[in-house]
Structures are given as structure tokens and as C-alpha cells.
Amino acid sequence: MHGLAGDHRGGECPDGRSRKAALGSRVLRGLPVGILAYCDGAPVAWCSIAPRSTYRRLGGPDDYPEDGNAVWSIVCFYIRRELRGRRVSDRLLAAAIAHARSRGASIVEAYPVDPNAPSYRFMGFVDLFRRFGFEEIGTAGTRRHVVRLSSRRNRKCITSPSTTT
């Protein structure tokens, strides 16, 4: 739920109760909020992905203002601790990209950090996005990279990235 703007665009980040209410309201109205990953029927991971226009300012370029659906942003990952390090993030990212593209996104944008960053780690790490073909287009602040994947690029990332051991 990090970066959720909805009814809070431009304001301070609301408290947990307000975020939960805002998220619930968005879901009830049918607005995109993200995707869940399940294991044995239980939710185990989350990726916040939605049209960039639904978030507060994230630090990327202000392009495509006429089409609020053109650029979708990935702003948060959560993976249960016991599943971390098992490439769940790869599968979650692949599903997020497919989800955005199936809803008309032509660009998927994210704001990851380097692995040694002391903050914003919930936004993902740069190497994950590079494995999927995202290209860096700038920075947002001192820690976050702005990376993009265009639908015009190789679409191999939809199923899985190339993996190394």
C-alpha cells in the first residue's frame, strides 16, 4: 500500500487505518491496486501496480498526461519472509507486467533501489528489474532509480527472465 494516493494525492501519507480504508474504497470501486500471489490457497506476496496517474508524484517523468493508462507504476512488493530468496519476486514481477499490459499499459515503470540502500527496499531492487529488461531513465531522489519497460521491447519478460545460478 506504499505510494497509494487515491483520495490522498499530494497530501501526507495517511495512517494505517486511513490507508486500509482508502485501499478498500478503491477495490470496491473497481480501481486497480495490485496483485496477490498465493501458495496453497493463502496469500503470500503482494505487488502494488496500477496506472501511474492513480499515485501521488513518484519521481519519474511527467510524460503521457493525456493518457492516464499508458504508464503503470510498480511501487511496492511484499513477500513473506520465509519465501524470500526463492525468486518469488521474479514470478510476481512477471505477473505484474502481464497484468498491466492486459489492461492497456504501454509502459511499466518502477522505482527500485540498490541492495545496500537503507530505505525504500519495499520498492524492489534494481537487479530484479534489469533481469526483466527494464532500462534506467533517471533517478528519483538520492536512492531510487527510475526504470521502464516498454511494450515495444522484447516481450520475453512476460513469462520469465533469463536466470543464472
Distance, CA of 36 to CA of 48 (rounded, Å): 9
Q: How confident is the model at residue 31 (pLDDT cuts 50, 70, 90)?
A: confident
The pLDDT of residue 60: 82
pLDDT digits (tens, 9 = 90+) for 129-159: 999 999 999 999 999 999 999 975 434 443 3
Residue 109 burial (CB < 10 Å; 0-12/13-18/19+)? Answer: buried
Chain segment 68-108, per-residue pLDDT in tens: 789 999 999 999 999 999 999 999 999 999 999 999 999 99
Q: Is the dihedral of CA 6, 7, 10, 16 positive or negative?
A: negative
**Amino acid 28: pLDDT:** 86
What confidence score (pLDDT) does residue 158 get? Answer: 39
pTM: predicted TM-score of the whole model, two decimal places = 0.78
Length of the chain: 165
The pLDDT value recorded for residue 152 is 59
Q: Is residue 161 pLDDT above 60, yes or no? A: no
For 11-15, the CB contacts below 8 A with 24+ separation are 11/56
pLDDT given for residue 18 in this prediction: 77
Domains for the chain: give ranges and CATH numbers: 6-158 (3.40.630.30)
Going by pLDDT thresholds of 50, 70 and 90, the confidence category of residue 32 is: confident
Q: Is 110 helix (H, G, I), strand (E, B) or coil?
A: strand
